[in-house]
Structure 1
Amino acid sequence: MLHYIMKRLIHLIPVLLGMSIIVFLIIHAIPGDPAQVILGQQATAEAVAALRESLGLNNPWYVQYFSYLQDIVTGDLGDSLRTRQPITTEVWPYLAATFELAFFAMAIAVIVGMNAGIISAWFQNSKFDYIVMVIALVGVSMPIFWLGLVEQWLFSIKLGWLPTSGREEVRDPVIAITHFYLIDTLIQGRFDQFVIVLKHLVLPGTALATIPTAIIARMTRASMLEVMRSDFVRTARAKGQRMLIVIYKHTLKNALIPVLTVIGLQTGLLLGGAILTETIFSWPGIGRYIYEAIGYRDYPVIQSGILIVAFLFVMINLLVDILYTVIDSRIKYN
């Protein structure tokens, strides 16, 4: 297993290297001058030229790339062109916010999606089965930006149950320790803040969970139906074992591999693809961080943000592969 993990980590190097080259070339092909964006339209040509020189933007593109690559190898992601702050320290609060939102959404997707798929498979061709499959089809087809706006209009503006946007109350900000606000509020014993942070998570979390919930429900149902036709499941049912034991001990355990694959892929997509959700709900995550950097032509932030997302995606897939061996002892990696 250790040999397999090391091999996967070594294979990660050319993947990230190729990703960095593609991202670098695409970003530098975007029209616009970072120095002009930073200083504003009223800046003089001399000021813009001086800033370009100080930022190293006058160097050839290959010199800029190898300079950036050298920084990455030494563990330095560089400095933001806009804030002049080290990206290594600046990016963590945004990453923590995205982690919190993505894992909250995946918790909803896994709990609701898997149980809906299990019940739907067990009562195949029933009214519940048809309703779940129709809802799953609608969920897969639902535009996230539209759903987010509808949620804000209904639950925030009309009913006033939940906050419209943001991650915390402006009047009572959370004192960040780990930058995971749910954990930070519990560490400080601020249960009132914990409830507020949880309320801020509900709308973006449910909007983000819609598509993964539908996909997980459909995959769980299909995988469960395939395993339920196996002889050992029929034998367990013939012995008169309780329904819950047959479902969760015999059927689900053997149907979990494809479901786990989908969960891993969807988790990686949520970490990197939450830009729309974070923008609509003003959520200060990595997606919004990259989105704002694109507007300012902040090349180091865009490059580093995309590389971090790519690294997380690959690591999640590696974790899923390791979990395969935990679920099914017959799977071995040599």
Structure 2
Amino acid sequence: MIAYSVRRIFSLIPVLFGMTIIVFAIIHAIPGDPAQVILGQKATKEAIATLTRELGLDEPWYIQYVDYIKGLLTGDLGISLRTRGPINEEIWPYLAATIELTVVAMVIAVFVGVNAGIISAWFSHSWFDYLAMIFALIGVSMPIFWLGLMEQWAFSIELGWLPSTGREDVRNPVTAITNLYLLDTLIQGRMDQFGQVIQHLILPSFALATIPMAIIARMTRSTMLEVIKSDYIRTARAKGVSMFWVVYKHSLKNAIIPVLTVIGLQTGLLLGGAILTETIFGWPGIGRYLYDAIGYRDYPVIQSGILLIAAIFVVINLIIDLLYALIDPRINYHS
């Protein structure tokens, strides 16, 4: 296991290096002049040329790339062209907001999706099975922007139960320590703020959870249907083992491997693809941050943001691979 983990970690290096080349090439192929965007349409040619030299954009592309790689190797993501601030400090609050939203959404998706899939498989062709699969189909098909707007209309405007936008109550702001507000409020013992943060998380996290929830439910049902037909499951039931232990100890353990793969992929996709949810709910996440950077042709921010998301995606898949062996000891990583 340790040798495999080390090999996988070292295998990330060429993947991330290749990602830097691809992202750098694509970003610099985007039409438009960052200096022109920063200074505005009325800027003079002299001012644009001066800012271009200051930003180092007049250098050949390969020199810009080498400078960028040197910065990455020292842990420096560079300087934002728009704000002139260090990206290391700017990007973390946005990334933390997206991580918090993604984790809560995936907890909801995994809990509901796995259990719905288990019940649907155990009572296949029952009314619950048909109803759950209908809702799963709706969840996959429903546009997130429409669901988000309906949530705001129903629970914020009509019922007034939950806030419609934002991450915190602006009248009682959270003092950021890690920028993970749930953790920060617990560290400070501010349970009133903790409750407010939970309220702000409910609507966007449920909207974001719908698609992975539906996919996980369908995958769990499919794999569970194969497992529950096995001889050892019939033997366990014949011995009088309770249905709970048959399902969660014997069946689920052998059916969870494909589901884990889906969970890992969906988590990575949510980290980089939550821009619609963040826009609708005014969530200050990494998607909004990168969207604004694209509008300003802020190359260092775009490159660093995409590379960071790619690195997290790869790490998540590494963790999922390692979980395979912990759950199923038949998996051999020595080869």
Instruction: Output the TM-score relative to the length of structure 2.
Output: 0.97
Which segment drifts farther, 167-176 or 152-161?
152-161
Matched, 1:125 2:125: yes
Matched, 1:10 2:24: no
One-letter amino acid of the structure 2 residue matched with residue 186 of structure 1: L
1:156-235 equivalence runs, <5 A: 156-235=156-235
Task: Give distance in 2, aligned partners of 1:302 and 1:4.
Answer: 32
Question: Hey, what does 2:294 align to over in structure 1?
Answer: 294
1:91-170 equivalence runs, <5 A: 91-170=91-170
Task: Give distance in 1, aligned partners of 2:333 and 2:212.
Answer: 28
Cα deviation for residue 31 of structure 1 reads 1.8
One-letter amino acid of the structure 2 residue matched with residue 40 of structure 1: G
Task: Give distance in 1, aligned partners of 2:3 and 2:253.
Answer: 27
Cα deviation for residue 332 of structure 1 reads 2.2
- CA deviations 1:89-129 (Å, max 9, x no partner) are 22111111111000000000011001100111110000000
- CA deviations 1:41-80 (Å, max 9, x no partner) are 2222221111111001111112111111121122211111
One-letter amino acid of the structure 1 residue matched with residue 177 of structure 2: I
One-letter amino acid of the structure 1 residue matched with residue 327 of structure 2: I
Which segment drifts farther, 233-242 or 23-32?
23-32
Which segment drifts farther, 40-49 or 207-216?
40-49
Which segment drifts farther, 133-142 or 1-10?
1-10
Cα deviation for residue 85 of structure 1 reads 1.2
Task: Give distance in 2, aligned partners of 1:239 and 1:11.
Answer: 47
Task: Give distance in 1, aligned partners of 2:313 and 2:56.
Answer: 31
Task: Give distance in 2, aligned partners of 1:305 and 1:140.
Answer: 27
Which residues of structure 1 form unaligned runs of 5+?
Answer: none
What's the secondary structure of 1:43's corresponding residue? Answer: coil
* Identity across matched positions, percent: 71
Task: Give distance in 2, aligned partners of 1:21 and 1:248.
Answer: 45
One-letter amino acid of the structure 2 residue matched with residue 90 of structure 1: E
Matched, 1:83 2:83: yes
Cα deviation for residue 231 of structure 1 reads 0.3
Cα deviation for residue 275 of structure 1 reads 1.4
Q: How many residues align?
A: 334
- CA deviations 1:111-170 (Å, max 9, x no partner) are 100110011111000000000001101111111122112212221122221111110111
Matched, 1:311 2:311: yes
Instruction: Output the TM-score relative to the length of structure 1.
Output: 0.98
Which segment drifts farther, 128-137 or 239-248?
239-248
Which residues of structure 2 form unaligned runs of 5+?
Answer: none
Task: Give distance in 1, aligned partners of 2:40 and 2:74.
Answer: 33
One-letter amino acid of the structure 1 residue matched with residue 121 of structure 2: A
Task: Give distance in 2, aligned partners of 1:5 and 1:130.
Answer: 42
Q: CA RMSD in A?
A: 1.1
Task: Give distance in 1, aligned partners of 2:43 and 2:157.
Answer: 41
Question: Hey, what does 1:272 align to over in structure 2?
Answer: 272
Task: Give distance in 2, aligned partners of 1:104 and 1:114.
Answer: 15
1:244-283 equivalence runs, <5 A: 244-283=244-283
What's the secondary structure of 2:149's corresponding residue? Answer: helix
Provide runs of 4+ in structure 1 moved above 3 Å.
none
Cα deviation for residue 277 of structure 1 reads 1.1
One-letter amino acid of the structure 1 residue matched with residue 292 of structure 2: E
Matched, 1:322 2:322: yes
Task: Give distance in 2, aligned partners of 1:15 and 1:206.
Answer: 33
